[in-house]
Chain A
């Protein structure tokens, strides 16, 4: 295979079959699916190129060789990464993959912060994602219809199931078959192991809380690679838990490790990096998108690329921003926005609540390696019985580990005994934290700021999003329930925690979804069941913007399945001459 670098272009006079905007989890999948189905495809990325392995500059660096031992320079963080620094994955090893907030500003209303975590480079956030991978079920796709919040999804689980399988076989999802109604099984590679304490707690939990169950978190890390992943040049997870620095083993799924190589191998992919999409070009005569206008990130020069199909995979908010900025006489409020709902129904997952405690005994048990996932309790709220206080539900995830030097330092003592105590593995602790579903609400929205612009002259996005009463009640229940579970499992010194809005504003969960939602009715939704704009048939949006609800599971696997399905549909429609 030729190196990817030979496929970079700046300009092109040719008309492509398809343009994919963005190169993250969905952009990579769109490029792979479209090129493998025969389309000459251009991938447009606003950030710089990142070569697999070569550009993972924080990888394999011992703490003592880092200037700040892995900690971020406070001045740099405060002045340039004031939003990104809130992300758990942001540190001295990973800083290069996070956006500079000073250079890429957005606005929020006074008192309603939103933490937009972004990674603008080839590979996007696929380089820093948390890799948890879960199918959604009909409990999720029917939720809007049943309780009336949000529009009904135009698809059901059966529409996506074969596409889940399609992407899972390529990505490699480690997990265990469980036959749970709320959480369909994936096509699995072997799951990561529980440790001794987790196994003991799982037995207690499964017996007491059936049909709820504690399972191993399903993740796009290769505990044991399959033939398909080995053929991609990917290797086994080394359990370093340094995934966010980039993984040259390709042991987790990223654009660079998994979707880009096969797309490049077709010979039909071109990549334009440092190209900020200004807008989608629209031809009112044909009612078709004809390409994209881009701003050169370095020279500010404006260019155009042309294609028969445009697929937006720029990330939830960026794809919507592009549509909002693509104004014409036919679409004065943003392209494909005849419904007026473009920008509305922004969601993120509820986080920041849970409980932890001490586990007695097991002094002779330890573990080796840093597992990239942990025990997971799928949704049990509002499944069989209706909860009196809130709609929808949440998952709990966590794990058990022995205390080390970080917690010992906050205990009494110093000197030789203190040092000797730290040398021995400390007490076992086990914790659970929640991830809950946020309701889709019209008032949670993004728009283009009327006056503020960024340094490329693009209007800034104005993000107005807050939690509702339902969200807060669910957050409280997450903490209470987690604490009750720990008590039932026999833990000691149980502590509950709930983060305030200041500590965990919307956006920080990095599961932002909605703002160009799917739906059955063009009057109340932007996209149809194939992620195809109701208004403009050769325009697709296949990232998180398309989501009509946010479910309780991590969304990335669903983004992948939807993208593959939408792109297959686009190719069929193009070949049939319908778009």
Chain B
């Protein structure tokens, strides 16, 4: 199984036979409800728009169904989509790809399932739920459906441990950021396009000067 997949490498016309609702559905809808393909697609386009992204077909595929039947390994589809939105807010597309384009949320889902203890899995999902809860309480919508300014304001609150969030929520967000950073900077684009990746340095040089083009070493 290709568990280290890159979103953009996947075909944009991957079958979505079992696709469930995305995180961008209207508030009050029921979990597990099947959405028609075009509705799901337009919902995703809205996520992209909210994230400031012009989503290509490749990125859409990364968000929805990159592996096998497209089902997440641990998270629900809603949780996966929320993770994707949060990941892109944390590491957005700039002059290099953002977290969504490298499928960071898929990588996180896989690593949570494969490499993270059950207790930490539960903490992660509880953290996502707290964000949804705060979004509904404050904006009347799920997080993914809020305008980006509201999303950013909520993330600032959780990042600072400010109301309605607490220290545990703040810790979750730092943990989430470390997962996103791991998934992004260990991806090919994150390591070699955003940062400097040198698999064979050829030796150690103790002193080089930082220039305007110097980037952090990926490893």
Q: How far is the CB of A403 from chain B (nearest CB, A)?
A: 8
Q: A88 an interface residue at 8 Å Cβ cutoff?
A: no
Partner pick for A409 among B111, B177, B203, CB 8 A cutoff = B177
Q: Is the CB of B181 within 8 A of A405?
A: yes
CB neighbours (8 Å) of B38 from chain A are none
CB neighbours (8 Å) of B94 from chain A are 416, 419-420
CB neighbours (8 Å) of A238 from chain B are 200-203
Q: A152 an interface residue at 8 Å Cβ cutoff?
A: no
Considering only CB atoms, which chain A residue lies closest to B201 in the complex?
A369
Q: Is the CB of B181 within 8 A of A74?
A: no
Q: B29 an interface residue at 8 Å Cβ cutoff?
A: no
Q: A184 an interface residue at 8 Å Cβ cutoff?
A: no
Q: How far is the CB of A347 from chain B (nearest CB, A)?
A: 33
Known A409-B174, A415-B152: A223·B206 in contact at CB below 8 Å: no
Interface members, chain A 264-312 (any B CB < 8 Å): none
Partner pick for A73 among B6, B114, B155, B202, CB 8 A cutoff = B114
Instruction: Give Cα distance in the complex from A74 to B115, angstroms.
Output: 4
Q: How far is the CB of B13 from chain A (nearest CB, A)?
A: 23
Instruction: Give Cα distance in the complex from A396 to B169, angstroms.
Output: 38
Instruction: Give Cα distance in the complex from A370 to B89, angstroms.
Output: 31
Partner pick for A68 among B3, B90, B203, CB 8 A cutoff = B3
Q: Is the CB of B203 within 8 A of A237?
A: yes
Instruction: Give Cα distance in the complex from A422 to B180, angstroms.
Output: 13
Q: How far is the CB of A60 from chain B (nearest CB, A)?
A: 7
CB neighbours (8 Å) of B206 from chain A are 193-196, 198-199, 367
Q: How far is the CB of B153 from chain A (nearest CB, A)?
A: 12
CB neighbours (8 Å) of A195 from chain B are 206-207
Known A240-B200, A405-B195, A409-B177: A367·B205 in contact at CB below 8 Å: yes
Q: A69 an interface residue at 8 Å Cβ cutoff?
A: yes
CB neighbours (8 Å) of A196 from chain B are 206-207
Q: A365 an interface residue at 8 Å Cβ cutoff?
A: yes
Q: How far is the CB of A360 from chain B (nearest CB, A)?
A: 16
Q: Is the CB of A425 within 8 A of B194?
A: no
Instruction: Give Cα distance in the complex from A319 to B214, angstroms.
Output: 52
Q: Is the CB of B1 within 8 A of A67?
A: yes
Partner pick for B204 among A199, A367, A423, CB 8 A cutoff = A367
Partner pick for B191 among A63, A364, A365, A426, CB 8 A cutoff = A63
Q: Is the CB of A367 within 8 A of B203?
A: no
Q: Is the CB of B204 within 8 A of A239?
A: yes
Q: A388 an interface residue at 8 Å Cβ cutoff?
A: no
Considering only CB atoms, which chain A residue lies closest to B161 in the complex?
A412
Instruction: Give Cα distance in the complex from A199 to B206, angstroms.
Output: 9
The proximity string for A residues 412-431 relative to B, scoring 1 for CB distances below 8 Å and 0 otherwise, is 11111011101111100000
CB neighbours (8 Å) of A366 from chain B are 208-210, 214
Q: How far is the CB of A325 from chain B (nearest CB, A)?
A: 37
Q: Is the CB of B90 within 8 A of A414?
A: yes
Q: How far is the CB of B206 from chain A (nearest CB, A)?
A: 4
CB neighbours (8 Å) of B143 from chain A are none
Instruction: Give Cα distance in the complex from A369 to B216, angstroms.
Output: 12
Interface members, chain A 187-205 (any B CB < 8 Å): 192-196, 198-199
Q: Is the CB of A415 within 8 A of B92?
A: yes
Q: Is the CB of A364 within 8 A of B209?
A: yes
The proximity string for B residues 71-90 relative to A, scoring 1 for CB distances below 8 Å and 0 otherwise, is 00000000000000000011
Partner pick for B201 among A68, A75, A239, CB 8 A cutoff = A239
Partner pick for A415 among B89, B182, B203, B204, CB 8 A cutoff = B89
Counting chain B CB atoms within 10 Å of each CB, the highest count among A370, A371, A405 belongs to A405
Q: How far is the CB of A326 from chain B (nearest CB, A)?
A: 42
CB neighbours (8 Å) of A364 from chain B are 209-210
CB neighbours (8 Å) of B132 from chain A are none
Q: Is the CB of B204 within 8 A of A64?
A: no
Q: A6 an interface residue at 8 Å Cβ cutoff?
A: no
Instruction: Give Cα distance in the complex from A194 to B181, angstroms.
Output: 29
Q: B188 an interface residue at 8 Å Cβ cutoff?
A: yes
Q: Is the CB of A418 within 8 A of B203?
A: no
Q: Is the CB of B202 within 8 A of A63?
A: no
Q: Is the CB of A370 within 8 A of B195?
A: no
Counting chain A CB atoms within 10 Å of each CB, the highest count among B177, B183, B203, B209 belongs to B203
Q: Is the CB of B216 within 8 A of A404?
A: yes
CB neighbours (8 Å) of A72 from chain B are 115
Q: Is the CB of A74 within 8 A of B92?
A: no
The proximity string for B residues 179-195 relative to A, scoring 1 for CB distances below 8 Å and 0 otherwise, is 01111011110010011
Q: B166 an interface residue at 8 Å Cβ cutoff?
A: no
Partner pick for B216 among A69, A412, A416, A423, CB 8 A cutoff = A423
Known A366-B208, A426-B216: A69·B174 in contact at CB below 8 Å: no
Q: Is the CB of A193 within 8 A of B204?
A: yes
Q: B4 an interface residue at 8 Å Cβ cutoff?
A: yes
Known A74-B117, A409-B178: A370·B201 in contact at CB below 8 Å: yes
Q: How far is the CB of A279 from chain B (nearest CB, A)?
A: 41
Instruction: Give Cα distance in the complex from A237 to B201, angstroms.
Output: 9
Partner pick for B187 among A60, A64, A223, CB 8 A cutoff = A64
Considering only CB atoms, which chain A residue lies closest to B194 in the complex?
A423
Instruction: Give Cα distance in the complex from A236 to B203, angstroms.
Output: 8
Q: A498 an interface residue at 8 Å Cβ cutoff?
A: no
Q: A66 an interface residue at 8 Å Cβ cutoff?
A: yes
Q: B31 an interface residue at 8 Å Cβ cutoff?
A: no
Partner pick for B215 among A194, A239, A363, A424, CB 8 A cutoff = A424
Q: Is the CB of A409 within 8 A of B180?
A: yes
Q: Is the CB of B201 within 8 A of A368?
A: yes
Known A406-B181, A419-B92: A369·B116 in contact at CB below 8 Å: no
A-B contact pairs, 21 of them (CB 8 A): A62-B191, A63-B4, A63-B186, A67-B1, A68-B110, A70-B186, A73-B115, A192-B204, A198-B206, A239-B203, A368-B204, A368-B208, A404-B195, A404-B216, A406-B178, A408-B181, A409-B178, A412-B160, A419-B92, A420-B94, A422-B216
Known: A64-B188, A370-B204. 10 other contacts (CB 8 A): A62-B191, A64-B187, A68-B114, A236-B202, A363-B210, A371-B204, A404-B217, A410-B174, A414-B90, A423-B194
User: Which residues on B are within 8 Å of A, measured CB to CB?
Assistant: 1, 3-4, 6, 89-92, 94, 107, 110-111, 114-117, 152, 155, 159-160, 174, 177-178, 180-183, 185-188, 191, 194-195, 198-210, 214-219
Top 10 A-B pairs, shortest CB-CB distance: A369-B201, A193-B206, A369-B204, A409-B181, A409-B178, A63-B186, A195-B206, A371-B204, A239-B204, A71-B115
